[in-house]
């Protein structure tokens, strides 16, 4: 199960099993979406599968995630999602009203994201083989001319901006997970980021890289970028927006907010000269109102993410090993 957690084990699965078997230069980029040339246009293309439990959680459902997850993967290439495909894998015995609610949620999320569901598929598996329902989506969108978002473009001196408060989605999911249930005024931040990215690109097409810190949280996103870019990243811990209930839940369960999942946030590496203007544009957008500069890319310790703590010490933010577990010690 650790292989799906977005950490070291996920990365190893891709590096050692999938990449060698599939080959091809595009997969070598290993971003959340691929950018392809087709008929003179540059298309972003991405797919993602959704296996979250429970199906409904505070602030959304697996259907919202299925739309926004793929829409956001495209947005991280700078593309506004145009078309989605949608595959349902249903477990025998799933109640029809539940399916109906999820279908409506999926339609509403697609409309909100401005994306059209163009094709789909449904399969049914035997009872006991599928947790109720799984959804796979794939999406395509056009990448605007002049936009080239890749970690390889990051250079020391780039400013790191996060679009808002971290940890909300992960804490919302945990609050309804069996064995951990707690009451919290926390809802998932699940949201489509295409509009925010457009607003940022309107300032300058010269952003270096964007990443949505989903599984593995901010820690995984920053480590992936640092590793692929060959730069170090220094984060000022006190600048990272952590809402009080996320801090409370993390204190109670012994978790680190840097490793908790988000579904409606992005982290951007921006050339220093554009950082102020990009930050202002983000703050003017509803999904970036709490955007904050959290750090910078540095020449030192390439591939490593280091936080300066509130007290002025340093700590290493490592790639998470797998699933985050509540601890007692």
The nearer residue to other proteins, 109 or 306, going by C-beta atoms, is 306
Pick one of 195, 245, 257, 288: the residue that binds other proteins (CB under 8 A): 245
Question: Is there binding between residue 15 and other proteins (CB under 8 A)?
Answer: no
The nearer residue to other proteins, 89 or 250, going by C-beta atoms, is 250
- Smallest separation, CB 227 to other proteins (Å): 12
3-class SS of residue 182: coil
- Smallest separation, CB 28 to other proteins (Å): 24
The nearer residue to other proteins, 25 or 313, going by C-beta atoms, is 313
3-state SS track over 242-305: CCHHHHHHHHHHCCCHHHCCCCCCCEEEECHHHHHHHHHHHHCCHHHCCCEEEEEEECCCCCCE
Distance, in Å, from the CA atom of 217 to the CA atom of 268, rounded to the nearest integer, reads 14
Query: 């299925």: which residue's tokens?
Result: 66
- Smallest separation, CB 180 to other proteins (Å): 5
Q: What are phi and psi of 160, to 5 degrees?
A: -100, 125
Question: Is there binding between residue 253 and other proteins (CB under 8 A)?
Answer: yes
Pick one of 205, 236, 241, 285: the residue that binds other proteins (CB under 8 A): 236
Pick one of 248, 283, 285, 290: the residue that binds other proteins (CB under 8 A): 248
Interstrand relation of 116-125 and 80-91 (parallel, antiparallel or unpaired): parallel
The nearer residue to other proteins, 99 or 318, going by C-beta atoms, is 318
* Cross-strand pairs, 34: 45
Question: Is there binding between residue 185 and other proteins (CB under 8 A)?
Answer: yes
Distance, in Å, from the CA atom of 192 to the CA atom of 169, rounded to the nearest integer, reads 14
Pick one of 275, 281, 282, 287: the residue that binds other proteins (CB under 8 A): 275
x-or-dash pattern for other proteins, window 194-233, by CB under 8 A? --------------------------------------x-
Number of other CB atoms surrounding residue 286 within 10 Å: 9
Distance, in Å, from the CA atom of 314 to the CA atom of 232, rounded to the nearest integer, reads 13
| CB 58, CB 256: distance < 8 Å | no
Pick one of 279, 281, 287, 291: the residue that binds other proteins (CB under 8 A): 279
- Smallest separation, CB 303 to other proteins (Å): 8
Distance, in Å, from the CA atom of 11 to the CA atom of 135, rounded to the nearest integer, reads 22
Distance, in Å, from the CA atom of 190 to the CA atom of 203, rounded to the nearest integer, reads 25
The footprint of other proteins (CB under 8 A) covers 1-2, 8, 159, 171, 175, 178-180, 182-186, 232, 234-236, 238-239, 244-245, 247-249, 251-254, 256, 272, 275-276, 279, 292-296, 298-301, 304, 306, 308-316, 318, 321-322, 325-329
């Amino acid at each position: 199960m650790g292989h799906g957690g977005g950490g070291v084990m996920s990365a190893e699965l891709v590096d050692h099993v999938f990449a060698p078997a599939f080959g091809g230069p595009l997969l070598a980029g290993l971003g959340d979406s691929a950018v392809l040339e087709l008929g003179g246009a540059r298309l972003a293309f991405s797919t993602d599968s959704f296996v979250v439990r429970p199906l409904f959680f505070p602030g959304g459902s697996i259907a919202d995630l299925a739309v926004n997850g793929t829409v956001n993967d495209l947005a991280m290439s700078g593309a506004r999602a145009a078309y989605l495909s949608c595959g349902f894998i249903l477990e025998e015995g799933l109640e029809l009203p539940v399916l109906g609610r999820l279908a409506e949620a999926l339609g509403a999320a697609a409309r909100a994201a401005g994306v059209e569901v163009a094709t789909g598929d449904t399969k049914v598996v035997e009872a006991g083989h599928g947790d109720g329902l799984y959804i796979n989506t794939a999406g395509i969108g056009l990448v605007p001319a002049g936009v080239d978002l890749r970690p390889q473009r990051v250079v020391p001196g780039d400013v790191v901006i996060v679009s808002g408060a971290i940890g909300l989605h992960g804490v919302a999911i945990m609050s309804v997970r069996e064995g951990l249930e707690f009451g919290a005024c926390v809802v998932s931040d699940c949201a489509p980021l295409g509009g925010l990215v457009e607003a940022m690109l309107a300032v300058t097409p010269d952003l270096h890289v964007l990443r949505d810190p989903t599984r593995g949280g901010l820690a995984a996103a920053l480590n992936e970028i640092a590793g692929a870019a060959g730069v170090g990243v220094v984060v000022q811990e006190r600048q990272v927006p952590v809402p009080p209930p996320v801090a409370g839940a993390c204190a109670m369960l012994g978790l680190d907010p840097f490793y908790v999942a988000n579904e409606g946030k992005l982290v951007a590496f921006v050339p220093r000269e554009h950082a102020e203007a990009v930050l202002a544009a983000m703050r003017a957008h509803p999904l970036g109102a709490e955007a904050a500069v959290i750090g910078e890319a540095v020449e030192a310790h390439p591939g490593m993410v280091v936080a300066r703590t509130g007290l002025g010490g340093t700590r290493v933010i490592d790639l998470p090993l797998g699933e985050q577990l509540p601890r007692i010690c």
